[in-house]
Structure 1
């Protein structure tokens, strides 16, 4: 059975994107970028919603071919292309770059994918993660908190029917006051 992690950069006030989908506040240090790259390299299957898919697929497929690209960006782009991906959307017609499209019920498909053998799964889209959280499918939360208040936008967490007990399993600091907290659900 696969494990499902919800991993994102988060503002101190709990948002993964500021109003207007602004992500400028979450530009990673080299060390944090390497953390995310290593995570992509270890991910058995990434689950994307439409907006995150469009953002990632508009840049990473050819990022390693751009002038002045750093070795770290080359490595991330190669890892990203190689990583299997599932995109959940009812508004796009096709995906590429080692991805497949799911237009049906996301919760049913995520539960089916979790039941399969394979490497860990990462979910990286707020709406999609909210559905998985509400269904009790998330095994781990990786909260990379940036020391900034953005005042609104897309929330990391969703409303739940009740408390979800978590156990802290890792804390790590990065340059610029960024702190990672990794929690496992207690079931």
Structure 2
């Protein structure tokens, strides 16, 4: 059975994007970017909602070809292209770069994918992750909390039907005051 991990940058007041989908506050230090790269290397399958897919696919397919790309950015771009991906959307009709599109029931498909053998799956996108949270499918949460308050925007968590108990498995501080916390779901 595969593990499902929700990893995201978040503001201190609990938002993954400020109003207008602004994520300018989340620029990582080199050390934090390296942590995200190492995490992405360990992921066997990436699950994306439409908005995050559009953001990632607009940049990373050629991110390694930019003249100012760092070695870590070059590796991230290559890893991103090579990692199998599933995009969940009913509004787009085409995806590229080692990606499959699912237009139907996301929770049913994620449940099916979790039952397969393979490496961990990463999930991203507020709406998709929210559906997986409500269905009790997320096994681990990785939060890189940035020391900024944005006052509104896209919340980290959706409304849940019941509590989700978590156990802290790691904390780490990065330059700029970003604090990583990793939690496993207690079942």
TM over 0.5: yes
- Please give the per-residue CA displacement for 1:134-157, whole angstroms capped at 9, x wherever unaligned: 000001111110000011111111
Report runs of 4+ in structure 1 exceeding 3 Å deviation.
none
Q: Give the equivalent residue in structure 1 for 2:181.
A: 181
Asked if 1:95 corresponds to 2:95, the answer is yes
Asked if 1:86 corresponds to 2:86, the answer is yes
Asked if 1:39 corresponds to 2:34, the answer is no
Asked if 1:50 corresponds to 2:50, the answer is yes
Provide TM-score, normalisation by structure 1: 0.99
Shift of 1:160: 0.8
Asked if 1:62 corresponds to 2:80, the answer is no
Shift of 1:185: 0.6
Shift of 1:119: 0.2
Provide TM-score, normalisation by structure 2: 0.99
Shift of 1:39: 1.0
Asked if 1:19 corresponds to 2:19, the answer is yes
Q: Give the equivalent residue in structure 2 for 1:152.
A: 152
Partner SS, residue 67 of structure 1: coil
- Please give the per-residue CA displacement for 1:99-130, whole angstroms capped at 9, x wherever unaligned: 10000000000000000000000101110000
Q: Give the equivalent residue in structure 2 for 1:134.
A: 134
After superposition, the CA RMSD in angstroms is 0.6
Partner SS, residue 97 of structure 1: coil
Aligned positions, number = 187
Shift of 1:73: 0.8
Asked if 1:28 corresponds to 2:28, the answer is yes
The 1-side partners of 2:47 and 2:157 are apart by 17
Partner SS, residue 62 of structure 1: helix
The 2-side partners of 1:34 and 1:16 are apart by 20
The 1-side partners of 2:162 and 2:119 are apart by 29
Q: Give the equivalent residue in structure 2 for 1:113.
A: 113
Gaps of 5+ in 2: none
The 2-side partners of 1:85 and 1:118 are apart by 13
Shift of 1:163: 1.1
